[in-house]
């Protein structure tokens, strides 16, 4: 049973990102969008938490990265950028969606 976790809150303002990372099991995916895309910035204090995953695929929504000035060179390696259609595909590919609102 695979879960797509979606998070949209800043990792520094709410516990959503931290809790999501703590609950994601192997085989699941995490999509960061809206203010949660700040979680992908390289060199941040939460980087070890975000980058330390095996078996969990990480995605970020491109439109939200662009809006916030997070360019590719500022991102933690291994995070895949998706567009809105990709967001829909991910939702369809997984058995269920857990939204960390």
27 lies in the binding site for other proteins (CB under 8 A): no
Q: Could you tell me how many residues of this chain bind other proteins (CB under 8 A)?
A: 24
Looking at residues 41 to 100 of the shown chain, list those that interact with other proteins (rule: CB under 8 A). Answer: 41-45, 47, 62-64, 66-71, 74
Burial 36-49 (b: 16+ CB within 10 A, else e): bbbbbbeebebeee
Residues 6+ apart with CB under 8 A from 55: 26, 27
Residue 64: CB minimum distance to other proteins, A: 6
Residue range at the interface with other proteins (CB under 8 A); choices 23-31, 39-47, 51-59, 89-97: 39-47
Distance CA 11, CA 95 (A): 25
Helix (H) or strand (E) holding 25, with range, is none
Q: Which residues bind other proteins (CB under 8 A)?
A: 8-10, 12-13, 34-35, 38, 41-45, 47, 62-64, 66-71, 74
């Amino acid at each position: 049973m695979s879960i797509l976790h979606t998070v949209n809150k800043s990792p520094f303002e709410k516990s959503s990102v931290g809790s999501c990372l703590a609950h994601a099991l192997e085989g699941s995916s995490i999509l960061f969008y809206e203010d949660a895309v700040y979680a992908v910035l390289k060199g941040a204090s939460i980087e070890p938490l975000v980058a330390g995953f095996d078996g969990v695929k990480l995605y970020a929504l491109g439109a939200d990265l662009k809006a916030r000035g997070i360019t590719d060179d500022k991102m933690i390696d291994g995070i895949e950028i998706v567009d809105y259609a990709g967001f829909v595909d991910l939702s369809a590919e997984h058995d269920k969606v857990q939204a960390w609102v």
